[in-house]
């Protein structure tokens, strides 16, 4: 087991098999995604899934479409036979979900867009009323804060970076909680994630702090479950350029006694350039990190905000959605 304070985590990632290049689509083809397979996969523990093939629908199989039936039930109607395949899919989901929800389950998912099983926004009843495919819906219902995107979201550099940062943060927490952690371990974890959490909003950071303070007075499993729930929800909130500027300014404040005024001013200018949209955030993060490492500013160096994921996965694009 990795020590999450010293070794980068290895996230578990659930991925639609057709995105991996497996020929499991209804037409016997695949939709291999190059960034996913060539860049991200070497850094994760893969959980490959194909609801339709694993539900026994066969490959190739007839194309299907989602339909809303009586009482808001969903049907997965075969376009050729008219047969409803939803019962087979639901039986597979019911059998697979407990394991996916368990301690060995994925930290996040990348599922195939527009699939009536895996897609997140799929036409229902033809072109009207888009809704999630049956498997995606089951995952989202079980955990609304779940990290779940379709591959088209990862074609945008900023969204991809946000996804990667969130995935690795969730993996760090999972690995921390999988150990025989002490109240001190949880407190150290929380301190290390401070700047990342603050970039997503103060209230959840404060609430998590109260949970950390209660460690030792509450049952461990109960506390861990609540911490994990609030942590996941905090990261799901997204962030803004202004929130990142505040975090970067806070970090720069830790250099006050250690850097000459002209070097601090240069870093301040870099932060302002980021705030004004003239440079990307990761370039500022890397400059702060290099200076903190050189000066051995321990608290700053340990902030996950400065090392949120392997550098090769971070594009330098700002994940904030201004
Ligand atoms: S979209 Fe999902 S169900 Fe369809 S082939 Fe890909 S993995 Fe299988």
Residues 194-228 have pLDDT tens digits of: 999 999 999 999 999 999 999 989 999 999 999 99
Q: pLDDT value at position 155?
A: 92
Please, are residues 1 and 10 in contact by the beta-carbon 8 Å criterion? no
| 82 Cα: distance to centroid of ligand 1 (angstroms) | 20
Residue 262 burial by Cβ neighbours in a 10 Å radius (0-12, 13-18, 19+) = exposed
Q: Please report the atom of ligand 1 found closest to the CA of residue 117.
A: 3
Q: Say what percent of the chain tops pLDDT 70.
A: 95
| 154 Cα: distance to centroid of ligand 1 (angstroms) | 17
pLDDT 10s digits, 100-127? 999 889 999 999 999 999 999 898 887 6
Which of 61, 65, 64 lies closest to 29, judged by CA?
61
2 pLDDT above the threshold of 90: no
On whether both 294 and 261 belong to a single domain, the answer is: yes
Q: Is residue 126 part of a domain?
A: yes
313 pLDDT above the threshold of 90: yes
* Domain closes at, from 154, 176, 211: 154
Query: Quick one: average pLDDT of 81-99?
Result: 97
322 — pLDDT class (breaks 50, 70, 90): very low
| Domain with 295 in it | 156-322
Q: pLDDT value at position 70?
A: 74
Q: 241: which 2 tokens?
A: 């350029």
pLDDT 10s digits, 123-143? 888 766 788 999 999 999 999
Please, are residues 74 and 86 in contact by the beta-carbon 8 Å criterion? yes
Q: pLDDT value at position 128?
A: 67
CB of 51 within 6 A of ligand 1: the answer is yes
Using the structure block, give the residue that is written with the tokens 């959980």: 47
The values of phi and psi at residue 125, to 5°, are 55, 60
Q: What is the DSSP string of 80-101?
A: TT--B-HHHHHHHHHHHHHHHH
| 60 Cα: distance to centroid of ligand 1 (angstroms) | 12
On whether both 174 and 312 belong to a single domain, the answer is: yes
Query: Quick one: average pLDDT of 273-289?
Result: 95
316 — pLDDT class (breaks 50, 70, 90): low
On whether both 29 and 43 belong to a single domain, the answer is: yes
Q: Is residue 322 part of a domain?
A: yes
On whether both 241 and 276 belong to a single domain, the answer is: yes
172 pLDDT above the threshold of 90: yes
Q: pLDDT value at position 103?
A: 87
Query: Quick one: average pLDDT of 78-94?
Result: 96
pLDDT 10s digits, 46-79? 999 999 999 999 999 999 999 987 777 889 999 9
Domains in the chain: how many in total?
2
On whether both 97 and 197 belong to a single domain, the answer is: no
Query: Quick one: average pLDDT of 263-288?
Result: 96
On whether both 142 and 208 belong to a single domain, the answer is: no
* Domain closes at, from 99, 125, 154: 154
What are the b/e assignments for 51-77, b being 16+ CB within 10 Å? bbbebebebebbebebbeeeeeebbbb
What gap in Å lies between CA 225 and CA 231, rounded to an integer?
10
Q: pLDDT value at position 1?
A: 43
* Domain closes at, from 154, 170, 201: 154
Q: Is residue 227 part of a domain?
A: yes
Pocket test for ligand 1, best of 25, 47, 85, 137 (most atoms within 8 A of CB): 25
What gap in Å lies between CA 112 and CA 36, rounded to an integer?
12
CB of 122 within 6 A of ligand 1: the answer is no
On whether both 286 and 251 belong to a single domain, the answer is: yes
On whether both 146 and 169 belong to a single domain, the answer is: no
319 pLDDT above the threshold of 50: no
On whether both 202 and 311 belong to a single domain, the answer is: yes
The values of phi and psi at residue 320, to 5°, are -65, 145
Higher pLDDT pick, 320 / 299: 299
On whether both 49 and 113 belong to a single domain, the answer is: yes
pLDDT 10s digits, 227-245? 999 999 999 998 999 999 9
Q: pLDDT value at position 263?
A: 96
Mean pLDDT of the chain: 93
């Amino acid at each position: 087991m990795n020590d999450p304070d010293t070794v980068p985590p290895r996230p578990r990632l659930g991925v639609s098999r057709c995105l991996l290049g497996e020929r499991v689509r209804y037409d016997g083809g695949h939709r291999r995604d190059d960034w996913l397979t060539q860049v991200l996969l070497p850094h994760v523990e893969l959980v490959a899934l194909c609801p339709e093939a694993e539900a026994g629908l066969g490959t190739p199989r007839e194309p299907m479409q989602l339909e809303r039936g009586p009482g808001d039930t969903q049907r997965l109607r075969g376009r050729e036979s008219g047969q409803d395949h939803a019962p087979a899919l639901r039986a597979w989901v019911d059998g697979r979900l407990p394991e996916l929800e368990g301690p060995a389950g994925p930290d996040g998912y990348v599922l195939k867009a527009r699939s009536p099983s895996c897609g997140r926004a799929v036409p229902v009843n033809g072109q009207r009323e888009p809704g999630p495919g049956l498997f995606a819906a089951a995952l989202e219902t079980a955990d609304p804060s779940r990290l779940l995107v379709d591959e088209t979201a990862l074609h945008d550099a900023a969204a991809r970076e946000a996804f990667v940062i969130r995935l690795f943060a969730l993996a760090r927490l999972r690995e921390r909680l999988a150990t025989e952690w002490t109240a001190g371990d949880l407190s150290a974890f929380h301190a290390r994630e401070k700047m990342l959490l603050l970039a997503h909003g103060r209230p959840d950071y404060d609430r998590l702090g109260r949970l950390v303070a209660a460690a030792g007075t509450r049952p461990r499993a109960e506390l861990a479950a609540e911490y994990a729930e609030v942590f996941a929800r905090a990261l799901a909130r997204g962030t803004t350029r202004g929130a990142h500027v505040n975090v970067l300014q806070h970090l720069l404040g830790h250099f006050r006694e250690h850097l000459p005024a002209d070097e601090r001013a240069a870093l301040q200018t870099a932060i302002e350039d980021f705030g004004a949209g003239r440079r990307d955030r990761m370039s500022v993060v890397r400059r702060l990190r290099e200076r903190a490492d050189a000066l051995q500013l321990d608290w700053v160096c340990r902030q996950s905000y400065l090392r949120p994921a392997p550098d090769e996965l971070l594009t330098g694009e700002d994940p904030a959605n201004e």
